[in-house]
Amino acid sequence: MKTKIGVLVMSYGTPESLDQVEPYYTHIRRGNPPTAEQLKELKDRYEAIVGGVFPLRANTDNQVTALQDTLNRLNPYAEQEFVCYQGLKHARPFIEDGVEAMAGDGITEAIGIVLAPHYSVMSIGGYIKRAEAKAAEAGIAMKFVRSYHLHPKLIESLAARVSSKLDLFVEAGAEREKVRVLFSAHSLPAKILEMGDPYQDQLLETSKAVAERAGVTSWQFTWQSAGRTAEPWLGPDILDTLRSLSLEQVEDVLVAPVGFVSDHLEVLYDLDIEAKAIAKELDMRLERIDSLNTDPLYMETLSDVIFQLRKE
């Protein structure tokens, strides 16, 4: 019989229905319930994207299934079988539930990976800390992938997405070189820079590698989706970047949210609705690259780094 190696696939998590938005938001806010106004504002955003459906849930389910298939199809270890478990940061099954499920299935060795390519102590670091604590309690030996932001297959799939959308601008009459490519990612509190956190540098490295691979020279990086708190967040925010580009007479913009791997609120609302509305006001054309979701090259990226870690 093959030995089962657990793979804890971790992702942000999303509510299951509109009445689950409040506990979800409270969890994100570390137990502090949102005000009625904050709650309404978040529910309105979910309703605006797809009328109360939560696309991240099905997308994460599909990514986990596709990853398990890819891992076992490309598996270089004949005597082992990879079994994927889901562990979500802010919704069920929580990270701890995923570790418990592995223990319940008799798994003693596992690898953890997050469906987000760039490391920050405030993002991936948080996932790993929780999984590590639960694994120690459950007696599972676990190793973790920390980042995979420069994996050649990830860069290739992102570059292909940038190129195909640039072709559409050209078909519509724009000059390829004049389309400004905006790489973006979720902002974090600016204090991470003083902590020597690699998040910003890794995002710039991904952006540069994708631009080079796609032959793009007119690009810049911008933040998006900053939290609604009083402390300073990393900027500039994409909405301010669009206003500055308008002053530079830029008319065509392609957004590549390289910090995200799936269609969800931060892409479908913050970019497709909010940023597009500002672009329209500024008389700019704004498009977005397709999300990776279950792209086979993305699944191979994840499998490669898992196999690599297994070898170490």
- Binding residues for ligand FEC, rule: CB under 6 A, are 12, 14, 25, 28-29, 42, 54, 56, 116, 122-123, 186, 188, 227-229, 259, 264-266
| Complex with ligand FEC: residue 107 or 124, whichever CB lies closer | 124
Contact indicator for 263, 63 with CB cutoff of 8 Å:
no
| Complex with ligand FEC: residue 123 or 301, whichever CB lies closer | 123
Contact indicator for 200, 121 with CB cutoff of 8 Å:
no
| Complex with ligand FEC: residue 266 or 300, whichever CB lies closer | 266
269 known ligand binder: no
Min dist. Cβ of residue 194 to ligand FEC (A): 16
Min dist. Cβ of residue 45 to ligand FEC (A): 8
Residue 253 CA to residue 162 CA, distance in Å, equals: 11
Residue 185 CA to residue 117 CA, distance in Å, equals: 11
β-sheet bridge partners, residue 114: 10
| Complex with ligand FEC: residue 54 or 169, whichever CB lies closer | 54
127 known ligand binder: yes
Instruction: Work out the number of other CB atoms within 10 angstroms of the CB of residue 224.
Output: 24
Min dist. Cβ of residue 229 to ligand FEC (A): 5
Q: What size, in residues, is the chain?
A: 312
Instruction: Work out the number of other CB atoms within 10 angstroms of the CB of residue 71.
Output: 23
Q: Is 54 left (phi over 0), alpha (psi -120 to 50) or beta?
A: beta
85 known ligand binder: no
Min dist. Cβ of residue 212 to ligand FEC (A): 24
Min dist. Cβ of residue 60 to ligand FEC (A): 10
46 known ligand binder: yes
Buried b or exposed e, range 103-121, using 16+ CB within 10 angstroms: beeebeebbbbbbbbbbbb
Residue 167 CA to residue 214 CA, distance in Å, equals: 11
Min dist. Cβ of residue 86 to ligand FEC (A): 14
Residue 124 CA to residue 198 CA, distance in Å, equals: 11
| Complex with ligand FEC: residue 217 or 229, whichever CB lies closer | 229
Structure tokens at 268: 């479908």
| Complex with ligand FEC: residue 42 or 254, whichever CB lies closer | 42
298 known ligand binder: no
| Complex with ligand FEC: residue 265 or 279, whichever CB lies closer | 265
- Provide the 3-class DSSP secondary structure of residue 8: strand
The amino acid present at 228, given as its one-letter code, is R
205: part of which helix (H) or strand (E)? helix 199-214
Min dist. Cβ of residue 228 to ligand FEC (A): 5
27 known ligand binder: no
24 known ligand binder: no
Which DSSP category does 189 fall into?
B
- Provide the 3-class DSSP secondary structure of residue 124: helix
Annotated binding site for Fe-coproporphyrin III: 12, 29, 45-46, 127
Annotated binding site: 12, 29, 45-46, 127, 186, 266
Annotated binding site for Fe(2+): 186, 266
